Structure 1
Amino acid sequence: MTSKTNSRVQIVKNHKFTFLFIIVSLFFSSCSFQKKAVPDSSSSNIDFKKFETKKIVSAKDDQFIFSTIERTPCKGTCPVYKLIIFKSGDAIYDGSDHVIHTGRFLVKFSKVDLEKISAKAKEVKYFSFKNEYPTKSGDFPATITSLRVNKKVKSTNNRAGSIKGLSDFENFIEQMLFTKKFIPL
């Protein structure tokens, strides 16, 4: 070994602890800066604690709610979840059975998304639907939706399943929902 090689080896030996310390410090400092995403209730004036219960609320119940959708259980593998979309675009999703996302999540909808939902409601004449569409079958799940647009507020309980327009509206919201990022709460 030459003296040049020996000196390089000696430098590496002398600084390996320094180098290791820097790497470990960088790793831990990057982890400490990760924050759990939670809704910022100060920006949207929403009391998120109020919505921690399993009971779904509708747009009729709270002035800050823009829309809701709830799919109820059946004896089979029907998806079961609840979604509350606030006027701010923040949404709380609570998935319980036969869904990809189980648990409570924050989901963000843009103002454009809310406008699209309003436009779809207008297209299908959501505000002209009955409050309830029952079925004779005992095992048919319900899809309960509500919407608040301007001063109009409507809630509908669809157990019949294939009411033209209403099912389109429900599926529209659901398709939009599952393109979003789900942030655990």
Structure 2
Amino acid sequence: MIDESQNNTAQTGLQELIAKTNSAILATTNSEKQGEASYSPYVMDETGNFYIFISEAAKHTKNLMDAPTLSLMLIEDEAECRSIFARKRLTLKCDATFISRDDAVFDERIAQFKETHGAIVSTLVNMTDFHLVRLAPESGRLVIGFGQAYDVKGTDFSNFQHATVGHRQAKKE
């Protein structure tokens, strides 16, 4: 565990990153077990699950139908970062669940999508090839700067573990 000050720093960094991003990078696996990267606008629920609204025309939709696990990344805009080598980012391993259109969660999240992403959602929701998918985080890593990497578990983004594995100083000659 980390001390309260570090936990607050990590929490603030995470909240700022989420507030500044509207889309997530998705890493899915195709039927040949090859990785494919894409992106999607997202919304979050009050418990830390992410939701994407995606078309069957997109490769990531078929990939998630066949293999419902993925990696999700939120990343700081290059134009705003202090160092290209330490962009703020959250990377999560997630399980994907397709939400039926007759589930109450569907209407709740679509309303949230409309509020967050605008009128285009009203058009997309009428297209039957679009699916709402819940992405439930299992574990991941939050990076908010050099030496500020934190492991996270599940959707509970309130307790962080400082990640030190892999940090080495260059040998002095």
TM-score of the aligned structures, taking structure 1 as reference length: 0.28
Which has the larger share of helix? Answer: 1
Q: Report the structure number with the largest CA radius of gyration.
A: 1
